[in-house]
């Protein structure tokens, strides 16, 4: 099994110990049929997509001239964001309230999540130190969704686990949640949205 280098996403995502509750593993919506060779294992396609995104980021970070914050933010927005589905992430975060939201509110919530998620990456990449990771066997869920787990290994510590939850959309495989040592990014944002709603803050829904 090959070894790659990746960044400590537990830090980069910027969510804390309060986000331990995980949403149940269910697939995202199948927007349209995704044409792919029938002989290719869907789980292998998901892993290949994840590796592709990792290599893009690693190549960018490996350049001799260290990018500034604006360059890094632009790279994340153009090259890394397409590997995620922030619209579907917004559905998870809003839960049952999503059905009552207007299209404008849904778009605003997805944009807010994307900005926060990528913003955390841009802010914390300055702390990046290469870590060895290894891919574990992907796990398939209902309707073909795939959970890809990787193990982070650093000297003097036990391996950390990262889990990328992915589904196959019309544009290929997309990530809709990241679990770090049992902490879900979606669950964290959901808790924040719930607290914001209880306090009567309209910002989360973009009103």
DSSP letter for 67, please: P
- pLDDT of 90: 95
Each residue's pLDDT expressed in tens, for the chain with a length of 207 residues: 333 333 334 334 444 434 444 444 343 443 333 444 446 688 899 999 998 987 888 778 777 787 888 888 899 999 999 999 999 999 989 999 999 999 999 999 999 999 988 887 777 665 566 656 678 888 988 777 899 988 766 655 655 777 899 999 999 999 999 887 788 889 999 998 888 877 765 454 444
Whole-structure pTM value: 0.73
- In angstroms, the CA 160 to CA 132 distance is 11
3-class state of residue 34 by DSSP: coil
> Do the Cβ atoms of 75 and 67 come closer than 8 Å?
yes
Give the chain's domains with CATH numbers: 3-19+26-205 (3.10.450.710)
pLDDT, residue 173, reads: 95
Q: First CA to last CA across the chain, in angstroms?
A: 49
Contact 153, 55 (CB under 8 A): no
């Amino acid at each position: 099994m090959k070894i790659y280098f990746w960044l400590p996403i537990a830090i980069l995502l910027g969510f804390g110990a309060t986000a331990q509750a995980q949403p149940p593993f269910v697939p995202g919506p199948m927007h349209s049929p995704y044409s792919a060779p029938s002989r290719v294992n869907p789980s292998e396609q998901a892993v290949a997509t994840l590796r592709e995104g990792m290599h893009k980021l690693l190549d960018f970070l490996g350049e001799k001239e260290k990018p500034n914050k604006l360059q890094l933010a632009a790279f994340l927005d153009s090259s890394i964001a397409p590997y995620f589905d922030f619209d579907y992430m917004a559905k998870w975060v809003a839960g049952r309230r999503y059905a009552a939201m207007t299209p404008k509110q849904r778009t605003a919530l997805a944009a807010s999540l994307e900005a926060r998620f990528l913003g955390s990456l841009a802010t914390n990449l300055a702390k990046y130190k290469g870590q060895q990771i290894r891919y574990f066997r992907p796990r398939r869920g209902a309707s073909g969704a795939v959970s890809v787990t990787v193990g982070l290994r650093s000297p003097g510590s036990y391996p950390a686990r990262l889990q990328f939850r992915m589904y196959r959309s019309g544009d290929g495989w997309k990530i809709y949640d990241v679990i770090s040592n049992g902490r879900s990014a979606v669950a964290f944002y959901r808790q924040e949205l719930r607290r914001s709603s209880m306090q009567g803050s309209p910002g989360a829904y973009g009103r």
